[in-house]
Structure 1
Amino acid sequence: MKVFLHESVPAMPVQMEGAVGCRMRRLLGPEEGAERFIMRLFELEPGGYTPHHQHDYEHEVFVLEGVGQVVDEHRQVHPLQPGTVVSVAPDAVVLENPRV
C-alpha cells in the first residue's frame, strides 16, 4: 500500500511538443506497484493547453478546480468545471483553459 500527499511528487513541465503552461505529477504507476494503471495530476496555467494528440489507450480526466474545455475527436467543445468527469477512448483530445 502506498499513502502519500500529491504535493510530495514534483510537478514537472509536460514534455510534449506544443504543450503550453502545463505541468504533471506522476502519482502512481509500475514503479509504485500499480502494474496496469497510471495516475497523473495535470496542472494547467491560465491559457495553458496540450496540443491535439492521440493515445493508443483509454484515459480519464477528473477536474478538481478551475474551468476549461475539452475538444473531442469530432471537434465538439465540451466545458469543464470542478467535478467534471471525462472518459477518453483511444482517440484524439485537446485540453484548454480559456482564462487568461
Structure 2
Amino acid sequence: MKVGSWKDVAGKAVTEAGADGVAIRVLMGDNVGATNFTLRHFEVAPGGHTPFHAHPWEHEVFVLSGKGRVKRKDGETDIGPGSFVFVPPDEEHAFANAGSGTFSFLCAIPATKACLR
C-alpha cells in the first residue's frame, strides 16, 4: 500500500500543442506501481485550457474546485465542484477554466495510455 499527499507530488506544465495554463500531477501510476489505472490531478489557471483532442480510451473526471467548462464537438457544459464527466473513447473534448480562480480536477485513465502527461 502507498499513502501520500497530492501536495508532495511535483506538478509540471502540460506542453502539448493547444494546452495553455495547465499543470498536471500524476498521483498514482507508475510512481506507486499501479498497473491498471493512472490517476492525475490537473490545475487549470484562469483563461487556461487543455487541447481539444480525442483518443481511443475512456477517461473519468471529477471536479474538485473552481469553475470549468467541458467542450465537445456539439457544444459545451459548465462544470464545478462535485461535477463528474465520463469521456467515452474517441470523443473529442477539452477542459477550460471558466472562472477567475484555479480550476482543478482528477482524471483517471488506463495505466498504459499516455495522454497529457
For the criterion TM > 0.5, the same-fold answer is yes
Q: Could you say which residue in structure 1 is the equivalent of 2:83?
A: 84
Q: Could you say which residue in structure 1 is the equivalent of 2:74?
A: 75
Task: Specify the SS of the correspondent of 1:43.
Answer: strand
Question: Which structure shows the bigger proportion of residues in strand conformation?
Answer: 2
CA contact (8 A) 1:30 1:37 kept: no
Aligned-pair distance for 1:75? 2.5
1:1-100 equivalent positions in 2, closer than 5 A: 1-72=1-72, 74-90=73-89, 91-100=91-100
Q: In structure 2, list runs of 5 or more residues that go unmatched.
A: 101-117
How many residue pairs are counted as aligned between the two chains?
Answer: 99
Task: Specify the SS of the correspondent of 2:65.
Answer: coil
How high is the TM-score relative to the length of structure 1? Answer: 0.92
How high is the TM-score relative to the length of structure 2? Answer: 0.79
- Structure 2 Cα separation of the partners of residues 68 and 20 of structure 1: 14
The 4+ residue runs of structure 1 with deviation greater than 2 A are none
- Cα RMSD for the two superposed structures: 1.2
Q: In structure 1, list runs of 5 or more residues that go unmatched.
A: none
